[in-house]
Amino acid sequence: MNKDLITMDDLTNEEILSLLDDADRLLPVAHGEEYLPLLQGKLLANMFFEPSTRTRMSFETAMKRLGGDVVNLGDVKASSAVKGETLYDTMRMVDGYCDIAALRHPRQGAAQYAGDACSISIMNGGDGAGHHPTQTLLDLFTIRQAFGRLDGLKVAMVGDLRYGRTVHSLSHALARFGCELTFISPSQLSMPEEIFENLTCDGEEIEITVTEDLLGAIPEADVIYMTRIQKERFPDEDEYTKVAGIYKLSADDLVGAKGEMIILHPLPRVDEIHPDVDATRHARYFEQAFNGVVARMALMCRLLGVAIPRGD
Ligand code: CP
């Protein structure tokens, strides 16, 4: 496996499936039912230059459940970044302090930059409107948990496909497993061309539908992946206002859905999924967030060269 996880290009399909198998084995550890100190003595640097709840906390939970420890950058405003320290200098220092690092940064490409600067493994926890591959691992884990497979599913991605880094990474991975993708967004938030161009399976084009119609896509979908409109990435607040609240999924909208259809969301949500969806059989976003712990446990073990014992 590559030293770093910057985009899903860093993983082969076989490596993805093997990581998901490892994650599955780690479920009792993530639930606190089993103690397995595989990463005892290892130190994770949580370098979050942008807000995060799930990614930061699930990395920390994963490391601690496996017996390791964590140092956090903490509030960026209380770090030497405000004195003008460069990302390069900060990461070179972390390279000496810790064994592995998770990085979230507002600048697209920052994770690759940090990976090139460091000898330790860098895990991209989101770089601007670029990629979020560790989120994709937990998304894939959740989808496989529900369907027992990844290939051939019909997945609809909804909302901010332009700035939403989760869908950039996820669409790439799902294409490689031969999924059929539907992109649902207003035209100004459509999937970037450079992501679109990469959506192939074994070099062959996959089936992709582009539409603005969420309700029309519900009956066919196996997975509906909702996303938040990324207010913080809009250069102009008026442009955000034009699309804010454009998609709002409620329980009534799901009447024609397949029984086994699941709704995912990387979270946080704003208003794109009504709370009345939470009680439906389709809602899986909180389980999805939990799965971030096992997915990141499996990833850190792999990058640190620690094998996960197989059951009897
Ligand atoms: N899904 C996700 O990246 O959530 P956070 O921004 O809370 O980390």
> Model confidence over 143-167: pLDDT tens digits?
999 999 999 999 999 999 999 999 9
DSSP string, 184-234: E--GGGPPPHHHHTT-EETTEE--EEEES-HHHHGGG-SEEEE----GGG-
Inter-residue contact 20 to 140 (CB < 8 Å): yes
In the chain the first and final C-alpha atoms are separated, in Å, by: 26
pTM for this predicted structure = 0.97
Residues 31-89 pLDDT 10s: 999 999 999 999 999 999 999 999 999 999 999 999 999 999 999 999 999 999 999 99
Distance CA 236, CA 191 (A): 19
CA–chain centroid gap for 235, Å, is 24
Ligand 1 centroid to residue 154 C-alpha, Å: 24
Contacts of 74 (CB under 8 A, 6+ apart): none
Mutate to test the pocket of ligand 1, among 48, 49, 54, 104 (most ligand atoms within 8 A of CB): 54
Of the CA atoms within 13 Å of residue 170, those in its CB half-sphere come to: 32
Closest CA to 244 of 168, 188, 193, 192: 188
DSSP-derived letter for residue 53 is S
Strands of the sheet containing 154-158, edge to edge, are: 208-211, 180-184, 154-158, 223-226, 262-264
Identify the helix (H) or strand (E) that includes residue 62: helix 54-65
Supply the residue whose CA is at minimum distance from atom 3 of ligand 1.
55
**55 assigned to active site:** yes
- Residuewise pLDDT in 10s, the chain (312 residues): 899 999 999 999 999 999 999 999 999 999 999 999 999 999 999 999 999 999 999 999 999 999 999 999 999 999 999 999 999 999 999 999 999 999 999 999 999 999 999 999 999 999 999 999 999 999 999 999 999 999 999 999 999 999 999 999 999 999 999 999 999 999 999 999 999 998 999 999 999 999 999 999 999 999 999 999 999 999 999 999 999 999 999 999 999 999 999 999 999 999 999 999 999 999 999 999 999 999 999 999 999 999 999 866
